[in-house]
Amino acid sequence: MSAESLTYRLQKKGNFANLALLAIALGLVGSVAAYFTNPEQFFHAFLVAFSFWTSIGLGAMFFTMLHHLTGASWSVTVRRIAEQIMMGLPIMFIFTIVLFLGLHSLYHWTHVDPATDAFLAVKQPYLNEPFFIGRTIFYFVVWSALAIVLNRMSRSMDTNPTARTFQRLKVVSAIGMLLFAFTITYAAWDWLMSLDFHWYSTIFGVYFFGGAFLNALAMITLLAMYLRKRSDLDKAISVEHFHDLGKLIFGFIVFWSYIGFSQFFLQWYGNIPEETVWYLNRWDGSWKIPSLILLFGHFMAPFVIMIFRASKRSFLVMKVMAFWLLFVHWVDMYWLAYPYFTKTLYKEGVLAKNGVLFSWIEPSLMILVGGVFLFVVWRQLSNNPLVPVGDPKLEASIRFVNH
Amino acid sequence: MSTETVTAAAPAIQTYGILAAFKNAGDLLHAAEKVRDAGYAKFDAHSPFPIHGMDQAMGLRRSIVGYCAGISAFLLGSFGFWLQWWTSSVDYPLIIAGKPFNSYPAYVVVTFGLTVLGAALGALLSMLILNRLPQPFHGLFYSKQFEKFSDDGFFISIEAGDAKFSETETVRFLESIGGTNVEVVRGE
């Protein structure tokens, strides 16, 4: 089995791209209808979809940089998939326009008078529209630049592998990792935490990151399984690589839960009204359901299932778990973005009682943003080798076995 | 007369097993496969460093250390949770920070800590027990050449207690698979 005789190119293209286009078309119709019927819910549904897909791109970028920095060899064969998922980030730049259009619908700090709100008066130098827009543009400039540079350098190794590129990938990753840590933290604060601008949690960015990396791993697992049937990727990615992805998935299930509990625990114990209200909003009426789904579905059940070696080495368990994790990650984003919105609607008398608000609008936005994201990722996967064929550690990665 | 005294005082000499040296890690790995295939069960491979794939080559089953650690973690974690519940809501209920007696979120930190401790202790103790450690003496220490196992020697030892063990046959077998310095290890 020599690597040279294999092309590692997508052979059976299938109708993935057409499905993505169909999702975009349906999503677009639904989204436009939603915008004209219920703009407030439209923008909140958009925020959930936008956070969800951006977080997956970010997690994939973290995976790529982590790979370069640690000099890992097992992950070479799955790295290219991560590198293509992160190419969804530059396209998400376009969607920031929708975010900026929805500033007033989403963020109450844009129209509350600081003179009447002591919290906002203090936070005004940070929470103001020009700075918010500037920061979001800055995040996407950084992420797009990193994604494009890392991707391009890695692809240049396919045809012309040099020690210099190999070294420069590490340098870019080192700088990128530092930028990533700051930008993802501030992005989580800006987009999701500032919805309820009285509330604050310093660990919030880490919580967002935990979910992001976990679901990038789930997405890599699913794409790897899908692509193995459509190319000779099955010669490169074996059960051993899924086993290692499974270990990381297990680790980050625990990490996400640890951070989520750390955030909850301090606020629950401290019992200060402006902190606990955030959790109170998520325990009001039917909001208990998503809260419990997160506790049992995002932590307990996956923890118990994924702790076993046999689960990580089973394609079926890994596939079902990856789909499930993507679903609960969506619940997580929804759980972060919606409760303050429904509470406001309840106070305004729009809703008879506070609780989960779900209609055709949320799926419409999910498939629109997701369709665009996955269409770009799929185009990248179709046009390039599915593994970094020039990487000096590729052979070691293919032969990798868990002992 | 003196001869008789010496014979009477000398302890019985017993055979511990047979030791064979191999040239390098690769030879050792393949030799282990052949010993396994020949049907020997009580044998061991000795090398100065861990060799990947040796578990399969020797036909060893997966270690149960992981399960021991898991059970121990569960038991100690449950005990920690139970003790906190019992002390703070049954035996000596106290109102702390205006919270209910059974404020289970507060128990999580200690429960988590004890679960990790349980896993660590379970892994360590089960590893020692399964390895039959600490073991200050082993019959192979009678062999002079065996000292090299922690330096540059690669050995296979087949224990005398093995069902297929035979001093002549086993020596011939080890020589046939490329073993050198084949030695029947005897001692007191």
User: What are A176-214's pLDDT values in tens digits?
Assistant: 999 999 999 999 999 999 999 999 999 999 999 999 999
- Check CB contact of B134 with chain A, cutoff 8 Å: no
Cβ of A269 and B53 within 8 Å?
no
pLDDT at A183: 97
Whose structure tokens read 């993935």?
A16
Distance CA B68, CA B35 (A): 30
pLDDT at B97: 85
* Residue B172 CB neighbour total at 10 angstroms: 11
Would you say residue A1 has pLDDT above 50? no
CB pairs under 8 A between A and B: 19
- Check CB contact of A264 with chain B, cutoff 8 Å: yes
Cβ of B98 and A403 within 8 Å?
no
- Check CB contact of A307 with chain B, cutoff 8 Å: yes
- Check CB contact of B136 with chain A, cutoff 8 Å: no
Domain ranges, ordered by start, for chain B: 11-62+137-187, 65-130
Q: Which of A153, A181, A190 is nearest to A58 (CA)?
A: A181
Q: Tell me which chain B residue has its CA closest to the CA of residue A270.
A: B97
- Check CB contact of B70 with chain A, cutoff 8 Å: yes
Who among B52, B53, B106 is closest to A269 (CB)?
B106
Kindly report the nearest CA distance between residue A403 and chain B, in angstroms: 7
- Check CB contact of A272 with chain B, cutoff 8 Å: no
Distance CA A272, CA B81 (A): 26
Q: To probe the interface with A, which of B109, B110, B115, B116 has the most A CB atoms within 10 Å?
A: B109
Task: For residue B18, list its beta bridge partners.
Answer: B158, B184
Would you say residue B112 has pLDDT above 70? yes
Answer positive or negative: Cα dihedral of A230, A232, A238, A242. Answer: negative
| pTM of the model as a whole | 0.91
Cβ of A268 and B105 within 8 Å?
yes
B80 in Cβ contact with B115 (< 8 Å): yes
pLDDT at B1: 46
Residues ≥6 apart with Cβ < 8 Å to A220: A60, A63, A78, A81, A82, A85, A245
Who among A271, A309, A403 is closest to B52 (CB)?
A403
Tokens of A241: 């690589």
Task: Render pLDDT for B62-78 as a digit per residue (tens, 0 to 9).
Answer: 899 999 999 999 999 99
Q: ipTM strictly over 0.85?
A: no
Chain B contact set for A271 (CB, 8 A): 97-99
pLDDT at B10: 64
Counting residues of chain A whose pLDDT is more than 90, the rounded percentage is 87
* C-alpha Rg value of chain A to the nearest Å: 21
Helix (H) or strand (E) holding A90: helix A88-101
Q: Tell me which chain B residue has its CA closest to the CA of residue A307.
A: B70
Who among B52, B99, B108 is closest to A261 (CB)?
B108
Kindly report the nearest CA distance between residue B52 and chain A, in angstroms: 7
Task: For residue A395, list its beta bridge partners.
Answer: none
Distance CA A191, CA A50 (A): 10
Q: Where are the alpha helices (DSSP H) in B38-149?
A: 54-58, 65-86, 108-130
Distance CA A167, CA A172 (A): 9
Kindly report the nearest CA distance between residue B166 and chain A, in angstroms: 33
Chain B contact set for A400 (CB, 8 A): none
- Check CB contact of A309 with chain B, cutoff 8 Å: yes
Task: Render pLDDT for A129-141 as a digit per residue (tens, 0 to 9).
Answer: 999 999 999 999 9
Going by the DSSP 8-state scheme, the letter that residue B184 receives in this structure is E
pLDDT at A14: 84
The pLDDT mean for chain A works out to 94
Q: Tell me which chain A residue has its CA closest to the CA of residue B67.
A: A308
Over residues A4-26, mean pLDDT: 88
Which own/partner contact pairs does A168-174 have at CB distance under 8 Å and 24+ positions apart? Answer: A169/A68, A170/A68, A170/A69, A170/A71, A172/A68, A172/A146, A173/A64, A173/A65, A173/A66, A173/A68, A173/A69, A174/A69
Chain B contact set for A401 (CB, 8 A): 52-53
Task: Render pLDDT for A247-273 as a digit per residue (tens, 0 to 9).
Answer: 999 999 999 999 999 999 999 999 998
Q: Tell me which chain A residue has its CA closest to the CA of residue B74.
A: A304
What distances in angstroms separate CA A169 from CA A86, A150, A213, one per listed residue?
15, 7, 20
- Contact map slice: B 20-49 vs A, CB within 8 A: none
Would you say residue A360 has pLDDT above 70? yes
| SS3 state of residue A349 | coil
Number of residues that make up chain B: 188
- Check CB contact of B53 with chain A, cutoff 8 Å: yes
Q: Which of B90, B140, B84 is nearest to B112 (CA)?
A: B84
Going by the DSSP 8-state scheme, the letter that residue A269 receives in this structure is H
Would you say residue B4 has pLDDT above 90? no
B118 in Cβ contact with B78 (< 8 Å): no
